[in-house]
Each structure stands twice: as structure tokens, then as C-alpha cells.
Chain A
């Protein structure tokens, strides 16, 4: 059974940094396309970033240059390093696995329960 468990959220002041973790079981993080998706309070889903199994990374324009996605094979964990945080980054952050049979893994078939990040002074 696949399980994704996020942690690391909390209250942080604008301009601060935070690192989120997503501990995986039932799948190997480095063998999958792993994404971060966020949802601001009362708003819709927004894709944030992805790391491909080969190591390539991609980001939404809203976080490019501020957020960095990485992974630790020994811990089977996905990370999101968030720097220069802004109030508009306030959201529940989900990690999700890319699914699909054709190699581009375009959808998300497994999701964690999310961790809340609040950016406020």
C-alpha cells in the first residue's frame, strides 16, 4: 500500500524559509515522478514543482527561484525547500506521485494528506 506523509509545515514570517518533507512507503521516491501541489485556504489546487525519476526538476512560475525540490534515497523522502516566503504562499502543501503508463506520468494517482504552511507576521 502506498503512503505519503507530509511534515514540516507551520507558521513562518514573510521572508523566512521552511523545508517540507514527504516520507513515502510502498513506492520508491527516486523511481517515480514526484510532485508538490498546494491549495490556499478556500482556493483551488495549484501545481508547484516536480522531480523526475532521472533527477530533472520543474517549477511553477510563482515559485521559480525560491523553491527547490529534492529527494533522499536513503530516507525514501521528498523535500521542498521554500525560501523568501510570501503571504501568498500560505497553503496546504500536498506531495503526490505522477501516474501513467506511457512515461510522462501526467496525472497524480497517490496523494498525501498535506501539511499547512502559514506565512504571516
Chain B
């Protein structure tokens, strides 16, 4: 089955830019979706179809996807952005949904 690889952790100072990557074989040919999960809470969709933001998600959140890497970029990082972030794709070969292992974003 398809495998998505994320770095376990990313640290960034407030006001700086955080980039969270999601690697997969030719992931650029797939649509990537991203979730934010804070402790004790259910995940929240923050990006879909690589670059689309759901309503209510700040413009500071953006996405890109090319080659073997998709990236979630958070500009002007705030303390409230500290959370776990997961990428996810639809695996058409199995009709399954696949998550990356997750990245813990720490705001220094």
C-alpha cells in the first residue's frame, strides 16, 4: 500500500515560517489533504486538494505538491498553531485512505 513519510517534529519561532513535508512516491500525481490535531481533540481539516483552504482556516496556511514531496506551509506562526499535523491521500489502488505518521509542530 501507499506510504506517506513525515518528519516527526518541526520547531519554529513565533512569527517565522513553518514548513511540514509529506513524502511519497510520485505524490505530485495525487491530491494531498492536511489535518491539524491539538491534544485531546479530533483532527481538523486545514488543507484539501493540495492548496485549498476550508472556510475558517487562516490565509497563513498554504500548501504545495510536486514530485515526491507535498508541503504544508504556515506563515507568521502563532503559539496557537502548535499541534500535530497529518497529511493524507486517497489510494485509488485499494479505495483506501492513507495517513502520514504525523509531525509535531513546536512553537519555540
A contact residues vs B (CB 8 Å cutoff): 35, 37, 44-47, 50, 56, 58, 60-61, 94, 99-100, 104, 106-109, 111-114
- How many chain B residues touch A (Cβ–Cβ < 8 Å)? 28
A45 B90 Cβ-Cβ under 8 A? no
A99 B45 Cβ-Cβ under 8 A? yes
Q: List the count of A-B residue pairs having beta carbons below 8 Å apart.
A: 67
- Give the docked Cα–Cα distance between A94 and B96 (Å): 16
Which residue of the partner chain, among B42, B88, B92, contacts A113 with CB atoms under 8 Å? Answer: B42
A107 B42 Cβ-Cβ under 8 A? no
Nearest 6 A-B pairs (CB), nearest first? A106-B90, A107-B33, A44-B102, A47-B97, A111-B42, A45-B99
Interface of A is mostly: strand
- Give the docked Cα–Cα distance between A108 and B90 (Å): 11
CB-defined A-B contacts under 8 Å, sample of 5: A47-B88, A56-B95, A100-B48, A107-B90, A111-B44
Which residue of the partner chain, among B41, B48, B101, contacts A107 with CB atoms under 8 Å? Answer: B48
Q: How far is the CB of B69 from chain A (nearest CB, A)?
A: 19
B96 A60 Cβ-Cβ under 8 A? yes
B31 contacts the other chain (Cβ, under 8 Å)? yes
B42 A44 Cβ-Cβ under 8 A? no
Nearest opposing residue in chain B for A114, CB measure: B42
